[in-house]
Structure 1
Amino acid sequence: MTNVFKLDKPILIGLGFIVLILAVGTAYTMATQGTAVFLSPTYLLQQLHVGAFLGITAAGMMMVILLGHIDLSVPWTLAAGAMLATAIGGPLGALTCIGVGLAVGLVNGIGVAYLRVPSMIFTLGVNTVLLGLMVMLTGGHAPQSAATDLMLFLGRDRTFGVPHSVVVWAFVSLALVFVLTRTPLGRYMYAIGNQEAAAYLSGVRTRLVIVAAFMMCSLCAVIAGLALGGYSARAFQAMGDAYLLPSIAAVVLGGTNILGGQGRYAGTVIGALIIVLLQSVLSVMQMEEAFRQVIYGTVIIGMLLIYSRGRKVAA
């Protein structure tokens, strides 16, 4: 619990899948193009660039899943933050974006922790409210404002060839690892995920911990929205929809128990990389979309079955 980077079985399995995906992709490009595209530093750095947005979103999602909850408001939290940042512009737009994330997380946390509404239901409702508010704000059309300079800096620009979005992902990762391994909040999150009632009886202020976790999740979502808006050079409606299920899948593929109380952050990073690389390889192979979804789902189900089998044997 205290060492999120320990190489446990799910992490090792995930690393094995990454190697397998790269090997299959390399064999395909060698056979069709005569080059090992998937092993080139340029390609790998590009995948990190694209994967950073999913990685940041999944990092926040892990915080609530560790508690045994889930946040379905992530798509429109991400989109709302980016859309408001472009509409307002400048530093004030970025501050508004961060404020939206914290406010949404606070509302979600209060609804789940104090009102005791199931997180799946409450956050889905909040997501719908955000959707409606953004449609009202834009009149049902995409915002006309382009990404701000700060968004372009975070999402598109590079320093010494390294995308800034990857650097942002690294800073977010370091912050969450510190929380999970070096603070009482991290210990409380694992304790609540294992048994909330026991944690409460031992003196943990469980409601405040739940609120904090949802605020971290929403904050990560709007940070990803700022960077993604810069990468796309604009903010648009439903820009966060493509990150909900993959962010949950990345957390679960990384070995975090969907019921809470178990998981390491390194696994979430590996899960995000698996999803990004798998999508890239299937795209390069030019498979039909239906076939891609079949393979994508089969890989996820297969890994989960391997994980569950390993846990039963260990037990």
Structure 2
Amino acid sequence: MSTQIRKPFDLVVAVPFAATLVLILVGSVFYPQMLGLDYLSQQLQIAAFLGVIAMGATIVILLGHIDLSVPWVLGGAALISTTLAGTGDPTLTMLAIPAALGFGALIGCLNAVGVVILRIPSMVWTLAMNSILLGSSVLYTGGFNPKGEASGLMSFVATGRVLGVPMAFVLWMGVALVLALVLHRTGFGRYLSAIGYNEKATYLSGVSTPSVLFAAFAIAGVCSALGGVLLAGYANQAYQSMGDPYLLPTIAAVVIGGTSILGGSGGLVGTIGGVFFITLLNSVLSVMQISEAWRNITFGLIILVMLLIQTLRRKEG
């Protein structure tokens, strides 16, 4: 059974980093500021928002599943955190971030209930959850942008600097490091790829596959919620559909990084490279004044091409 969490220096993992470097060099010909420290620092900050979400998405995709509830887990977490922080009550403000992360973990567990217990395909169940969260948000806000604001801590984490490095990037790397240790140093990491390759065989070998799936979806939910907290801190508010632009880029970043969307192989280092590439590509497309519609088409095509390549590799293997 050829399951694996990819090693940090796997050739497949190096591809998105190399592509990012090429994108910077080519883009700088038309936009010289791309080589400036200010521009690169800004891109690290923006990449962190997508990167935190993509860390959780990688965990779920390693299982051979997918989480399409990202947009409104993100949006719901932003709504909860800004609502609590906007009350002005010190106690509620202090609970803003933990409550948002708890919300993400709860939705992650509900996603696992549908996938593990009810045996509904993750694509269908999580899409339905996303729709339910969307409707709940509209009912709560009346369809208007919610009131509230980010706390000082939320704003600092999203926009602050530590020795000139964006705090959001530091947080992203911290999350990546913790999850990498979990994947490479614990049985949980080995079970993820094993389940993604063959869930039934892994279960018959004595692994509690339901527990692994529940933990994976909970982690993904927390990461999406953390992304929402960061975005709310960056914008100093929550707003309708703030998570919608992150679904396709998140999946694209994971598959570009070499994680098989069919499950069984991949890793976080490649996803980091994928996030860098997607962030820079989005920036270049914006500079070129490419519309949001064409950007979505681009991300969709990237996902389809990578899925085709991975399918062919799996058949050859």
Same fold (TM over 0.5): yes
Q: 2:14 pairs with 12, 24, 34, which one?
A: 12
Q: Could you say which residue in structure 2 is the equivalent of 1:45? A: 41
Amino acid across the alignment from 2:101: I
Q: Could you say which residue in structure 2 is the equivalent of 1:209? A: 212
**TM-fit CA distance, 1:94:** 1.6
CA distance in 2, matches of 1:285, 1:48: 20
CA distance in 2, matches of 1:72, 1:288: 23
Q: Is 1:229–2:232 an aligned residue pair?
A: yes
**TM-fit CA distance, 1:8:** 2.1
**TM-fit CA distance, 1:302:** 5.5
Judged with a 3 Å threshold, the aligned counterparts in structure 2 of structure 1 residues 300 and 43 are, in CA distance, closer, same or farther, namely farther
Identity %: 45
Judged with a 3 Å threshold, the aligned counterparts in structure 2 of structure 1 residues 298 and 16 are, in CA distance, closer, same or farther, namely farther
Q: 2:76 pairs with 69, 80, 101, which one?
A: 80
Q: Could you say which residue in structure 1 is the equivalent of 2:245? A: 242
In structure 2, stretches of 5+ residues that fail to align are 86-92
Q: Could you say which residue in structure 2 is the equivalent of 1:98? A: 101
Checking the alignment, whether the CA contact within 8 Å between 2:261 and 2:307 is kept in structure 1 is no
Q: Secondary structure at the match of 2:207?
A: coil
Judged with a 3 Å threshold, the aligned counterparts in structure 2 of structure 1 residues 242 and 294 are, in CA distance, closer, same or farther, namely closer
Q: Could you say which residue in structure 2 is the equivalent of 1:33? A: none
Q: Could you say which residue in structure 2 is the equivalent of 1:265? A: 268
The worse-fitting range, judged by mean Cα deviation, of 286-295 and 53-62 is 286-295
**TM-fit CA distance, 1:298:** 5.4
**TM-fit CA distance, 1:68:** 0.6
Amino acid across the alignment from 1:104: I
Amino acid across the alignment from 1:209: V
CA distance in 2, matches of 1:313, 1:188: 22
Give the TM-score taking structure 2 as reference length: 0.91
Q: Secondary structure at the match of 1:282?
A: helix
Q: Secondary structure at the match of 1:98?
A: helix
CA distance in 2, matches of 1:128, 1:307: 30
In structure 1, stretches of 5+ residues that fail to align are 30-35
Q: Secondary structure at the match of 1:11?
A: helix
Judged with a 3 Å threshold, the aligned counterparts in structure 2 of structure 1 residues 117 and 61 are, in CA distance, closer, same or farther, namely same
The worse-fitting range, judged by mean Cα deviation, of 172-181 and 138-147 is 138-147
- The 5 Å alignment of 1:301-312 reads 311=313
**TM-fit CA distance, 1:12:** 2.4
Count of paired positions:
308
**TM-fit CA distance, 1:299:** 5.5
CA distance in 2, matches of 1:284, 1:177: 34
Give the TM-score taking structure 1 as reference length: 0.91
Q: 1:62 pairs with 58, 79, 83, which one?
A: 58
Amino acid across the alignment from 1:42: D
Judged with a 3 Å threshold, the aligned counterparts in structure 2 of structure 1 residues 294 and 128 are, in CA distance, closer, same or farther, namely closer
Amino acid across the alignment from 1:147: A
RMSD, aligned CA: 2.1
Checking the alignment, whether the CA contact within 8 Å between 1:58 and 1:248 is kept in structure 2 is yes
Checking the alignment, whether the CA contact within 8 Å between 2:77 and 2:229 is kept in structure 1 is yes
Checking the alignment, whether the CA contact within 8 Å between 2:248 and 2:300 is kept in structure 1 is no
**TM-fit CA distance, 1:65:** 0.5
The worse-fitting range, judged by mean Cα deviation, of 166-175 and 9-18 is 9-18
**TM-fit CA distance, 1:282:** 1.8
